[in-house]
């Protein structure tokens, strides 16, 4: 699973730039921060299942990071093992807190 991690304020500002806020976007900042922390908690509890990326990166950099991370994950699953050892899964932590 790819988690594009972004501070709630940044995400809401981006959403506002797309037009009128929907029901979810009208929730409080506290709500959005709790949701963010819940997803980050899931990723920390199961790091082999999540690729966490800093979604404050410029779009081209973020797209490249998604592509590279997913490619590594898929290659690891296809190969499964290398030199008799299980391959580690990718978990790139976000630089944003």
The predicted-structure confidence for 17-74, as pLDDT tens digits, reads as follows 888 888 888 889 999 999 999 999 999 999 989 999 999 999 999 999 999 999 988 8
The CATH architecture to which 2-86 belongs is: 3-Layer(aba) Sandwich (3.40)
Asked whether the CA dihedral 39, 40, 42, 47 is positive or negative, the reply is positive
Q: How far is CA 56 from the centre of its chain?
A: 11
pLDDT band at 80 (very low <50, low <70, confident <90, very high): low
Token pair, residue 40, equals 């980050």
- State how far the Cα of 69 lies from the Cα of 55, in Å rounded to an integer: 14
pTM of the model: 0.71
- Do the beta carbons of residue 39 and residue 4 sit within 8 Å? no
The yes-or-no verdict on residue 97 having pLDDT over 80 is no
**Domain extent listing, the chain:** 2-86
Bridge partners, residue 2, by sequence: 51
- State how far the Cα of 52 lies from the Cα of 89, in Å rounded to an integer: 12
The yes-or-no verdict on residue 16 having pLDDT over 60 is yes
């Amino acid at each position: 699973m790819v988690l594009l991690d972004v501070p709630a304020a940044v995400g809401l500002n981006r959403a506002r730039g797309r037009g009128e806020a929907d029901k979810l976007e009208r929730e409080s900042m506290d709500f959005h921060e709790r949701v963010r922390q819940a997803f980050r908690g899931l990723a920390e509890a199961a790091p082999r299942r999540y690729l966490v990326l800093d979604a404050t990166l410029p779009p081209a950099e973020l797209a490249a990071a998604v592509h590279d991370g997913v490619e590594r994950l898929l290659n690891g699953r296809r190969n499964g093992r290398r030199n008799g050892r299980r391959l580690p899964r990718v978990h790139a932590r976000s630089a944003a807190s």
